[in-house]
Chain A
Amino acid sequence: AQSVSQHNHHVILSEAASLELGCNYSYGGTVNLFWYVQYPGQHLQLLLKYFSGDPLVKGIKGFEAEFIKSKFSFNLRKPSVQWSDTAEYFCAVKNSGGYQKVTFGTGTKLQVIP
């Protein structure tokens, strides 16, 4: 069975600090990888996705993530965070074959202090 681990549960940063959120998954086959963001009181929105090709993917609002297959990782990065990035971030993995069930990590709450 596939699983996703997000090791940072709560991160507090000052504005302009750099961000890196860890995500590791366990699945032996080909996967699709996602980062979703949930702003306070809202539903989940797609931040970025990896399906194939260039392992460095760029998403909305200056976020990017790097897929490192050998480490089963898909870490999220942003060079300089803003107060408006305060949200909860979820990593998700979907196997690209079979019935394509999406599995989410437990989430990382990011608090950006002005």
Chain B
Amino acid sequence: NAGVTQTPKFRVLKTGQSMTLLCAQDMNHEYMYWYRQDPGMGLRLIHYSVGEGTTAKGEVPDGYNVSRLKKQNFLLGLESAAPSQTSVYFCASTESGFRNTEAFFGQGTRLTVV
């Protein structure tokens, strides 16, 4: 039972390069989220999705794009990486709609932009 899986786990990018982070969940969850974690700032929501084909902006969406073409996958894209995007990225998922549930997290992706 894999839960939430993120790839890659580590990546170093040069400024201006692009990359995509993949999040996959096998729990049939409707909701998926991308957070970034920075020292002293906790987790901040970048984008989220309430179902296949939908996406919405979180607290810090600038510089990122997302897609949810399949229910189990939630992709986070950086079109032109900047040093300010150096962070640890976590994906999470929850069950749908109006039930009381917890969030399940992936292992994280440590991204460094030089």
Q: Which residues of A contact B (CB under 8 A)?
A: 6, 9, 32, 34, 36, 42-46, 49, 51-52, 90, 92, 94, 96-97, 99-107
Contact = CB atoms under 8 A, between A and B. Distances in A.
B100 interface: yes
A101 B106 contact: no
Nearest to A50: B100
Given A43-B108, A44-B105, A99-B50, A52 B100 contact: yes
Given A43-B105, A107-B42, 15 more contacts: A9-B40, A32-B101, A43-B90, A46-B103, A52-B100, A92-B103, A94-B103, A99-B50, A99-B56, A100-B98, A102-B45, A102-B103, A104-B44, A106-B40, A107-B43
Given A90-B43, A102-B92, A97 B103 contact: no
Contact of A106 (B35, B42, B97, B106): B42
B94 A102 contact: yes
Nearest to A4: B42
Interface of B: 31, 33, 35, 40-45, 48, 50, 56, 58, 90, 92, 94, 97-98, 100-103, 105-108
B38 to A, nearest CB: 10
A97 B50 CA distance: 13
Contacts of B50: 99
